[in-house]
Chains A and B, each alone.
Chain A
Amino acid sequence: MIAFNKYYNLFNLLSSVLIIVSLLLLIFKGLNFGIDFKGGTLIELRASDSKISVSSLRDRFNQMDLGDVSVKKFGNDTDFLVKFENKDNKKNVIEEIKTNLDKSFGNNYDFRRVENVGPKVSAELLKSGVIAISLSLALMLIYIWIRFEWQFSLGAILALFHDVIVTLGVFSLFSLEINLSIIAAILTIVGYSMNDTVVIFDRVRENLRKYSDIKIFELTNISINETLSRTIITSATTLLALLAIYFFGGEILKGFSLAMILGVIFGTYSSIYIANTVLVRLKVSQKTVLREDDQK
């Protein structure tokens, strides 16, 4: 049996530091919002001429007065991703760009993807993203409250909060782009992390009913160990699937799968070191779950 409980304090401290650092990053550095949430235009371009490079494209686009332009390679040497603010929300901006690029590069390029999100839509998408995440946290809180006791509910929610904040913190630290699919990833992380926490909680509750003489400090450790191989196997298979998406699923799914990979790692960690320590600190005992049984 591994003595997870020996490190409860240590990891609680670490988690607190992680959350605080993440929050500071979110406040002072902020998130790198993609056009979904910031508005603007995105063009994925494939070139069939070596003349077309990041710098030559940047030159062309900068001449067009489109506001802030960013040009990046996308996956391989012939694909580029161009993003700009399109501040005045020009109507025929794509047409203008095509005419302009035709002059310099002829027909040797192809627009593979064009996205244009107006300021009104991006504001709405951001709002509905925030609502979705808050709503999912609230629903989880209520569900666990119904199925368990409030102490469990609080533990689970703190673990979820940790996972979401720290994942966003990593995205902020490395300036990774936040778009619609990242919101989907975060919601899935919420579901996954909850899943992990619930399995351990289920065992804690069972053990609480079984043993009246074991303190919660010891009991959580027993429960974590009993479910440990399941925790490892499920995390492993989920990570295998996600790694397959990350490496083979194409550029578009990269950010999404990365967020999920981070989320699975943080989710597994938080189920053990946040959710359970909340039970310990709230001094959950056999009485807590037996009272629940009486009510039923």
Chain B
Amino acid sequence: MLYFSKLRILFITLFSVLFILITSSNLFKFDDNFFDKKINLGLDLQGGSYLLLEIDNEPIIEQKLQNLTTTIRNYFKEKNIKIINIKIDNQNIFFNVTENDKQSVLDVFQDENSDLNPYYPRFKSHQLEIKDTGVNLKVNFSRQGLIKLKTSSQDQAIEIVRRRVDEVGTNEPNILKRGNNRILVELPGLDDPMRIKSLLGKTANLTFRFVTNDENDRFGVEKIKFENDLEEATVSKRIIISGENLLDAQPKMDPQTNQTIVSFTLDRVGAKRFGKATSTGIGKQLAIVLDGKIISAPVVRDTIASGSGQISGGFTFQTATDLALLLRSGALPAPLEIIEERTVGPDLGQDSINAGMIALAIGFLLVIIFMFVKYKIFGLITNVTLIVNLFILLGVLTLFEATLTLPGIAGIILTVGMAVDANVLIFERIKEELKDETNNILAFDGGYTKSRTAILDANITTLLAAIILFFMGSGPVKGFAVTLGVGIFTTLFSVYFIARLFTSIYVTRNKDKEKLI
């Protein structure tokens, strides 16, 4: 165990030097991409915001089922099957058909080539399930159908969230999917997430609809409140144009009224429809509805054929800017709810870094002094190993551009405390060997060999704990698991290569000395 070939010594030296260099690269700036690697600081250290958003899919499901009732009715009408008593209840569609038609309806839903009910061969499942309850037929989304629906609304939502966050212009946001109905947004360096939170909290569903007094409007009517919650207007359900028709939206100052407005440009389809509606609807009030509230309802004075227009509604410059931003980035498919938020100010982050570094320095110093007092020359060897170990650990974290968090720093300090364990196990074993072995080389050799299983088992158990922590933990705690886990490997490397190399050099030179350890 004490023999080292020249090649191996060279390898160990190069390896250690390499990692010391990598670690020091955190302190300098390199032009070259390869060398310019740095440890990422977690949000708890550099300050920033962590937001977990959940998509509320209920309205989408409701909407889809609503559309589906129409589709079902029309589909079977063509086949001369009459659908009666169709209704939606608790995310199920119920309807009746005559006893003769029942089987053919069931067949349509269960046909793999049905265009009414898509079949997913990969999951061996239809989008919809149908069941004969005896009283009526029940149709609802299958498990796969719901998953498809959720993932597709998540895909749309993440795109919109990304656009909105990018528009605000924070540096290096991190936007990720979580499960099939959540989105994680990490915004480093953002001190006050208020604006982003309010932007993400809005669906931004914009429609232009005529105000009507005709209760028997062909498309149906609904009463909608104004933004101020005081007034109300009856609005047709017919949508003239919606947010999807917008090409661009910008906040502007209206030179005539000196009011802040949002001006918008429509796409071709939108422009055509807007032109037609304004030409037939002169004198009528056109309500601009955003997320179920009327922003304003101006009277149409002229035909607007240019495909551009403006929204006024008592905006401040900030609210106009935000509305324009929301309209440009598009509507969310469903409302988002912020279900978890963690924000750390930059000065607290800096304080945490300072406290962590001081604790690391003091912890390190205490352990080093303790080891030196206890083991003298071998304590010195352990201490050198400990320092190199620290560099390799930081080097590995740099190389993988891992994220360092405050608990992560605690993990490093803990690694310092526990890293001596392997060396202590070896040294104590050597001491025992020396009791009945006079040959120093043999005793050292025995010490290394016999302590191996204990060291292996001890480290694997800690590693198991770190792995579980990594997969179950979140955010900062994950950082702890990473440093603890990586620390185990770097410790074993430094103990079995670096410390053993120094030990072997020292022991070979002093092999005739008594009471070596």
Binding site for B on A (CB under 8 A): 44, 91-92, 94-95, 110-118, 120-121, 125, 128-129, 131-132, 135-136, 139-140, 143, 147, 180-181, 183-184, 187-188, 190-192, 194-196, 198-199, 202-203, 206, 226-227, 229-230, 233-234, 236-245, 247-250, 252-253, 256-257, 260
Contact = CB atoms under 8 A, between A and B. Distances in A.
Contacts of B464: 136, 139-140, 143, 191
B407 A202 contact: no
25 contacts: A92-B198, A113-B342, A113-B344, A115-B342, A116-B341, A118-B337, A121-B52, A131-B472, A136-B464, A139-B464, A180-B476, A183-B473, A191-B461, A195-B461, A196-B458, A233-B428, A234-B424, A236-B370, A237-B367, A240-B417, A243-B366, A244-B360, A248-B362, A250-B352, A256-B407
A236 B44 CA distance: 30
A252 B198 CA distance: 29
Contacts, number: 211
Interface of B: 44, 52, 54, 194, 198, 201, 337-345, 347-348, 351-352, 355-356, 358-360, 362-363, 366-367, 370-371, 374, 406-407, 409-410, 413-414, 416-418, 420-421, 424-425, 428, 432, 450, 453-454, 457-466, 468-469, 472-474, 476-477, 480-481, 484
Nearest to B416: A241
B467 to A, nearest CB: 9
B468 A132 contact: yes
Task: Please report whether the interface of chain A is mostly helix, strand, loop or mixed according to DSSP.
Answer: helix
Contacts of A196: 458
B425 A245 contact: no
B469 A187 contact: yes
A120 B339 contact: yes
Task: Please report whether the interface of chain B is mostly helix, strand, loop or mixed according to DSSP.
Answer: helix
A111 B356 CA distance: 21
A195 B466 CA distance: 13
A118 B339 CA distance: 5
Given A226-B432, A230-B428, A248-B362, A140 B414 contact: no
Contacts of A125: 474
Contacts of A140: 461, 464
A252 B343 contact: no
A111 B374 CA distance: 47
Given A191-B464, A241-B366, 13 more contacts: A92-B198, A111-B345, A114-B341, A129-B472, A187-B468, A194-B458, A195-B459, A198-B458, A202-B454, A202-B457, A242-B363, A243-B363, A249-B409
Contact of B359 (A184, A192, A245): A245
A94 B51 CA distance: 14
B92 to A, nearest CB: 24
Given A117-B340, A184-B407, A241 B468 contact: no
A-B pairs with lowest CB-CB distance, top 9: A241-B417, A191-B465, A244-B363, A250-B355, A132-B472, A118-B339, A249-B359, A194-B461, A191-B462
